[in-house]
Amino acid sequence: MKGSSPDFDATVVNRVLNEGGTITGKNVMNGLSGGFGTGGAIGDYGRPLNPHNHDHVTGGSSAGSAAAVAAQEVDISFGGDQGGSIRIPAAFSGIVGHKPTFGLLSHFGIGFGSDQSIDYTGPMARTVEDAAAALQATAGYDPNDPRQNRDVPDTIDVFERSFKTVYLDCV
């Protein structure tokens, strides 16, 4: 795949650009997003360093995205998740990673080498609010993605509510 360049942008990329975002670059990941386990991605450019401690791994195939957000190189990044590859690197790097409902974000233009029946694209950010804003900006129906069949809920509205108590079943 060396030297390859896509003929078009993924829908998620187009939506980021349409909202005024800037695409900074691509991050290190395991080949074909095979980040099985928590050892951290080892791509063509080596293992991404955990910005909090270089002796610690960043975990999963979206490790480069998590490291870039945690190091404040970017505000938001997107990862792919089939079995924890957004959530594990986010947890290991001290950021927020969101694996959205299947089909909420378009998969069009993403997923070479991945199992599209279980692959999710989701935002990674330093705050829940930033992750929700990224989700809101990029989610929505895409006629090019046959996996989608639902309307997009307003993810930002939840922050306008106040909660006295929040109970988490497991942490």
Q: What is the pLDDT of residues 59-108, one digit of tens each?
A: 888 888 999 999 999 999 999 888 888 999 999 999 999 999 888 899 89
DSSP assigned state of 157 = G
Cα distance between residue 22 and residue 11, in whole Å: 14
Q: pLDDT category, 163, cuts 50, 70, 90?
A: low
For residues 11-19, average pLDDT: 95
129-160: b (≥16 Cβ within 10 Å) or e: ebbbbbbbbbbeebeebeebeeebeebeeeee
User: What is the residue extent of each domain of the chain?
Assistant: 11-160
The class of domain 11-160 in CATH terms is: alpha beta
pLDDT value at 158 more than 90: no
Cα distance between residue 148 and residue 11, in whole Å: 13
Other CB atoms within 10 A of residue 60 CB: 33
